Amino acid sequence: MDTDISPDADAPPTLDPRRWIAFAVVLAAGFMDLLDVTIVNVAAPSIQTDLRAEYSHIEWIIAAYVLAFAAVLITGGRLGDIYGRKRIFLIGMTGFTLASAACGLSSDPTMLITSRFVQGAMAGLMVPQILAIIRATFPEHERAKAIAVYSGVGGSASAVGLSLGGLLVQWDVFDLAWRPIFLVNIPVGIAALVAASVVMRDSRSATPPRLDLVGMVLAISAVLLLAYPLTEGRQLDWPAWTFVMMGTAAAVFGLFVAYERRRARTVGSPLIDLELFRSRPFAVGLASWLLFWIGLGGFFLVWTLFMQAGLGWSPMRAGLTAVCFAVGAGTGVGVGVGVLAPRFGRRALIAGGLVNAGGFGLYGGMAAHYGASTTSWQMVIPLIIIGIGFGMVVAPTIDLLLGQVPAREAGSASGLLNTGQQLGTALGVALVGVVFFGQLDHDSARGVEAVAPQVRAELGTTGLPQPAQDEILANFLACVQDRSAEVDPTVVPDSCRSGSAPGNDGVTQVLTRAGVEANAVNFANTFEYTLWYGIAILALMCLGFFALPKDARLEQHELDTESTDLTPAGV
């Protein structure tokens, strides 16, 4: 094993000639992680049908990964500092690959959710080593380029996940339906393990911190106590215990803060260095970063719901439509990191948020206007705009926010920002379900009103008496309302299984077509309504970024210090 574990391991005196090959390996690992955050979204209907899962199971399959990732992320970084970053990276990659296999072989929702938790936890071991390895491997003049490439890949991975997921499900490789979205990680993971073992140097911190296991348990408990009732409450009609759990989450979070303060004064090495929040720009910027991912995490879910459950598109069509977002995201990353952020600082982030919000508004308006007749081509412009705004924010934000804390606290701040990203995504998934399906139920009559005149006209040509037509139309209204009120958008309620004239195929065809159109109209208008919440969240994010100094620029730490040790502060 080629190892460099010395007091100056984070700034090796000799350049590793294989550093760019090693960088390609960790880049592939980071791409796999970010891919798995969104690849499940577009495959959700196929997973739900195949495993006979409830809709809340789908939300957990998505959220389990990012919750586990967030829970292990900071501790994973510290394990790398203590035991060696290469070693922990290899352990994480091995676990991630095995968990991916378990996901692909899952036979029921519980097994898949559990496997996703393990997969996310292994990513939490693997991913924190990436930036630490970059800083330990590259000299200062190459480091910025490596981080920019990593940011660019990360910025587009979410959209690529949607596209790749749709293609893999539609192709039905070896009759495996949705399973290849996980199984594809196995050959990639094995190749990365072999390459990393050969070309990657090891490094560890000269002053490794202690593990804060109590803090980790308290933090995980607080998040789960909040996420669980948000995910399950709507399905169970919000029983009292859901509100008790959310109140308990606040109490446990308060206990976590008190414990972290005490640990900082006594033992040291708290899980989160609360001294970071003395920097007002960083604290407000972190809150803005969290809001950004709440808005985007929710968007990715309702977007795929709109295309598949609303418009009835195939996974491949939905996935290929997502390519437009990927194109915009790649453009936004390049412009944001290469041109705007170095020159305009915080104003580039604010501009990105406004562009993203503008894309949301355009997309929602077009969806509501075209309804059931919405096409992929009509989505191209709004998706490119949303992607550009996304890329302008996601790529430079971490570097700009790290510039608001001392260099010695950069590792702790970086871990906190990455944790905020994962928590924001998980909360976005949970919250958007409450908003989206609540509005879908409340506004269910809109679809009926849109198609009722045409239904009535077509029923008039069937020769049925007027009373029978009125009864059929009333039953149709009940069907659409009941379907919109379902906690699972794929469930067909009993009221939709009857209501046409017995033996009258013409009436059945009329109502079937009308039901599909009414459902699409309801989903389109609810999609627009939900995007307005996303716009409000992005507006708050932009206000938060005003807290950054006017002269904030990228790579401030590279100017302040010759060597940055990516270890949590407070040691």
**525 within 8 A of 486, measured Cβ to Cβ:** no
> Measured between alpha carbons, how far is 115 from 124 in angstroms, rounded to an integer?
14
- Helix axis angle, 19-51 relative to 185-199, nearest 10°? 160
Beta strands in 443-571 (DSSP E): none
Q: What is the pLDDT of residues 537-571, one digit of tens each?
A: 999 999 999 888 887 665 444 433 333 333 333 32
Which pLDDT value is given to residue 498?
59
Q: What is the pLDDT of residues 297-356, one digit of tens each?
A: 899 889 988 998 899 998 889 888 988 888 898 888 888 878 888 888 889 999 999 999
Nearest to 379 by CA among 448, 451, 473, 313: 313
3-class state of residue 84 by DSSP: coil
**517 within 8 A of 363, measured Cβ to Cβ:** no
| 490 pLDDT tier (thresholds 50, 70, 90) | low
Q: What is the pLDDT of residues 391-410, one digit of tens each?
A: 899 878 887 888 787 766 77
Q: What is the pLDDT of residues 138-156, one digit of tens each?
A: 887 787 778 777 766 765 6
| 174 pLDDT tier (thresholds 50, 70, 90) | confident
Which pLDDT value is given to residue 561?
34
Residue 10: pLDDT over 50: no
3-class state of residue 566 by DSSP: coil
Burial (CB count <10 Å: 0-12, 13-18, 19+), residue 229: buried
CA dihedral 104, 109, 113, 114 (to 10 degrees): -80
Q: What is the pLDDT of residues 339-378, one digit of tens each?
A: 888 888 889 999 999 999 999 999 999 999 998 899 999 9
Q: Which residue has the higher pLDDT, 168 or 110?
A: 110
Which pLDDT value is given to residue 152?
65
DSSP 2: -
Longest CA–CA separation in the chain, Å: 91
Residue 11: pLDDT over 80: no
**96 within 8 A of 123, measured Cβ to Cβ:** yes
Which pLDDT value is given to residue 566?
32
Q: Show Cβ contacts of residue 358 under 8 Å, excluding neighbours closer than 6 positions.
A: 385, 389
Report the range of poorest mean pLDDT among 96-110, 277-291, 454-468, 502-516.
Answer: 502-516
Residue in the structure block whose two tokens are 């009103």: 449
* Torsion angles phi and psi, residue 3, rounded to 5: -120, 140
> Which uninterrupted H or E stretch holds 265?
helix 240-265
Report the range of poorest mean pLDDT among 63-77, 276-290, 441-455.
Answer: 441-455
Q: What is the pLDDT of residues 85-132, one digit of tens each?
A: 899 999 999 999 999 999 999 999 999 999 999 999 999 999 888 877
| 525 pLDDT tier (thresholds 50, 70, 90) | very high
Q: Which residue has the higher pLDDT, 220 or 480?
A: 220
HSE-CB at 147 with a 13 A cutoff on CA atoms is 27
Which pLDDT value is given to residue 540?
96
Nearest to 154 by CA among 397, 373, 320: 397
Q: What average pLDDT does the segment 440-445 reach?
A: 81
**In the chain, what percentage of residues exceed pLDDT 70?**
89
Which pLDDT value is given to residue 159?
63
Long-range pairs for 276-280 at CB < 8 Å and ≥24 separation?
Answer: 276/405, 276/409, 276/412, 276/413, 276/416, 276/569, 279/404, 279/405, 280/547
Full-model pTM: 0.83
3-class state of residue 202 by DSSP: strand
Which pLDDT value is given to residue 523?
92
Given 3-state DSSP classes, what are the helix, strand and coil percentages for the chain, each rounded to the nearest 5? 80, 0, 20
Report the range of poorest mean pLDDT among 143-147, 239-243, 285-289.
Answer: 143-147
Residue 235 CB: number of other CB atoms within 10 A? 16
Q: Between vectors from CA 536 to CA 151 and to CA 296, what angle results, nearest 5°?
A: 30
